[in-house]
């Protein structure tokens, strides 16, 4: 299994790694969303550093 951001191997058992989830949210009048309903965990994991870079708009190859 590899991280979708950097392509490097990832250990799904590592509790510090991030796991992709999907579900449904309801938009609020003032913006933002509510909690995820009908949450489904996916079998896709990412390194913490890769997620931070992606959130900052800087995803791509990273050195771990």
What does the angle CA 10 – CA 39 – CA 4 come to, to the nearest 5 degrees? Answer: 25
Residue 16, domain member (yes or no)? yes
Coil, strand or helix at 9 = strand
Specify the pairing of strand 37-46 against strand 18-24.
Answer: antiparallel
Amino acid 63: pLDDT = 54
Residue 34, domain member (yes or no)? yes
Q: Provide φ and ψ at 48, rounded to 5°.
A: -55, -45
Residue 43, domain member (yes or no)? yes
Residue 64, domain member (yes or no)? no
Specify the number of domains making up the chain.
1
Report the alpha-carbon distance of residue 22 to residue 36 in Å, rounded: 8
Q: What is the pLDDT of residues 19-61, one digit of tens each?
A: 999 999 888 887 777 789 999 999 999 999 999 999 888 866 5
Residue 22, domain member (yes or no)? yes
Residue 50, domain member (yes or no)? yes
pTM: predicted TM-score of the whole model, two decimal places:
0.75
Residue 36 lies in domain: 1-59
Name 37's Cβ contacts closer than 8 Å, sequence gap at least 6: 23, 24, 25, 26
Residue 23, domain member (yes or no)? yes
């Amino acid at each position: 299994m590899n991280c979708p951001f950097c392509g490097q191997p990832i250990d799904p058992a590592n509790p510090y790694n991030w796991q992709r989830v999907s579900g449904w949210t309801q938009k609020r009048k003032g913006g933002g969303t509510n909690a995820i309903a009908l949450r489904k965990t996916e079998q896709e994991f990412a390194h913490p550093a890769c997620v931070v870079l992606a959130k900052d708009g800087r995803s791509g190859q990273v050195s771990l």
